Chains A and B, each alone.
Chain A
Amino acid sequence: MSEKRHKGRFLTIFFSVICVLYVLPIVVILINSFKKKAYISKDPFSIPSEKTFIGFENYVNGIEKTQFLSSLFWSVFITVGSVVLIILCTSMCAWYIVRSDSKFCRVLYYVFVFSMIVPFQMVMFTLSKTADTLSLSTPWGIILVYLGFGAGLAVFMFSGFVKSVPVEIEEAAMIDGCSPIKTYFSIVFPILKPTCISVAILETMWIFNDYLLPYLVLDIRKYKTVPIAIQYLKGGYGSIDMGAMMAMLVLSIIPIIIFYLSLQKYIIKGVAAGAVKG
């Protein structure tokens, strides 16, 4: 027994060391964000000295250069809008597909599943042209694009869950005179809550970090998202303002870490549940 306890303690120490190493890259970025830009590439692993310390100047400079705050606003706006719309529309769609059980719906379901494995490069040109023609190059428009392109995974996950919900409760409600809409919102939707959380987390992780789709679809002179703003710092000819870059990397990680630590329990459970269903 004591040998086992010994092993446990060894593993705890072992993983503690690995965890420290795991967060080290982020710590290095944080440290460098307070250095003068000329010293960052030259010596990234040293602690800022009096000579190299610059305070928050990189942050001020970077925020100005990239209009970071407006990018963050649009990123959050697009992510929240798309995720809410995806959850509402695709869960209704999935329920309809499973319950109406027509030939058309069965075919449609397979097209949704098929869309999950199609890489974005296959449709990037035609999708951005379609969005352009329909004047969807705004943060409001791109929400519809995300509903369309992100529907596959969401419909797939919701359908999987709806199939496991017994149909008798819904039938009873409808016999008692509930319309399908009322039945859906008062009975089905509350049962779907765990799947909603899984879908919401997966789609949030995708949309908030997505670079190419918004870059091609949005009118980027007016609207940038966080990944676009970061990539924009690289500028032409490969020259990078390293100071501003470090500061913006830190600023783009902070909201994610806050989001993660406050919803950590749901995120890990949601990912695990989503994977088991898939």
Chain B
Amino acid sequence: MNRSVRKYFSIFLLPTFLAFILGFVIPFITGLYLSFCKFTTVRDAKFIGLSNYIKMFSDNTFLHSLWYTSLFTVFAVVTINVIAFSIALLLTRNIKGTNIFRTVFFMPNLIGGIVLGYIWQLIFNGILLYFDKTLTFSASYGFFGLLILLNWQQIGYMMIIYIAGISNIPPDVIEAAKIDGATNFQILKKVTIPMVMPSVTISVFLTLTNSFKLFDQNLALTAGEPSGKSEMLALNIYNTFYGRAGFEGVGQAKAVIFFIIVALVALLQLYFTRRKEVQA
């Protein structure tokens, strides 16, 4: 079987393979190389060693956005997952209207980041009007604004994942716990949560990487105002690349570090939550 399939390499594998080489492998490798170069286009690249990386760490905006992004990610992962899990718990109890509630909660997820950003910009500025302020008055407004926005967008998605996890728990496990006299809280802590750990793994992974890589929502809601103080990493990299002439190399070096951080955090998280997964 293997051998007869292998003859059809060019039909089955080649189209995706070529597109993948062009759309990912080549850009990734040249990107890695360019982070050690000074350049404005790919052709005029000159190798300059580590100096882009050295410049990057003396750039205060980068360190600020790294801190801002990390703090935001922690807040976002915790709030989104706790709220989504609580809603999922309540919506798996056969209450009336469950389907409508699910539909409504999931809906914002389909709206794109740019559109979401402008929707919430109007809402927040409208509320802050009563206090004579705007969203770009301070970076913490942008922070909590973005946090509410992201919660609104992603709670529904994570809720669906948790609902799938909770309904996969065999009912007899919970029945057995009840017969043994476990309280509701004990069942939640000792049965439900361990049994939905696969859902926790995937939800935390998605919220973690989504919030860390957030770009569109950040651009539309505050665009980094006031003066770059609400700028997250992805936007900071973009502005270094396209907003400051001569800093393309530094932008690429920042992107490499960004990639390494995302990869490390994601792998560590997968490792730690996977370890907590149990079998029924």
Q: Which residues of A contact B (CB under 8 A)?
A: 8-9, 11-12, 15-16, 18-19, 22-23, 25-26, 28-29, 32, 40-45, 89-90, 92-93, 95-97, 99-102, 105, 108, 111-112, 115, 117-127, 129-130, 134, 144-149, 151-152, 155, 167, 170-171, 174, 180-181, 184, 205, 208-212, 226-227, 230-231, 238, 242, 245-246, 249, 252-253, 256-257, 259-261, 264, 267-268, 271-273, 275-276, 278
Which residue of A45, A155, A246 contacts B126 across the interface (Cβ within 8 Å)? A45
Report how far A119 CA is from B8 CA in the complex, Å.
33
Chain B binding surface, main DSSP class: helix
Q: Which residues of A contact B213 (CB under 8 A)?
A: 119-121
Residues 2-28 of chain B, each 1 if its beta carbon lies under 8 Å from chain A, else 0: 101111110111011101111111111
Q: Give the CA-CA distance A146 to B19 in the complex, in Å.
A: 8
**Given contacts A41-B125, A127-B23, is CB(A119)–CB(B255) below 8 Å?**
yes
State which of B137-145, B186-194, B233-241, B272-280 sits at the interface with chain A. B233-241
Report the Cα distance A19→B159, complex, angstroms. 14
Cβ A89 vs Cβ B24 within 8 A: no
Q: What residue in chain A is nearest B261 (Cβ atoms)?
A: A119
Known contacts A148-B19, A184-B12; 7 additional CB pairs below 8 A are A11-B93, A92-B16, A121-B237, A123-B28, A130-B26, A151-B19, A275-B199
Chain B nearest CB: distance from A60 CB in Å?
19
Q: A121-B234, A122-B28, A125-B248 are in contact. Are A26 and B119 (CB under 8 A)?
A: yes
Across-interface contacts of A122 in B (CB, < 8 A): 28, 31, 255-256, 258-259
Interface residues of B (CB under 8 A from A): 1-2, 4-9, 11-13, 15-17, 19-28, 30-31, 34, 41-42, 90-91, 93-97, 100-115, 118-120, 122-123, 125-126, 129, 152, 157, 160-161, 163-165, 168, 198-199, 202-203, 206, 209, 212-213, 215-216, 219-220, 223, 234, 237-238, 241, 248, 251-252, 255-256, 258-259, 262-263, 266
Residues of A within 8 A of B104 (CB): 19, 22-23
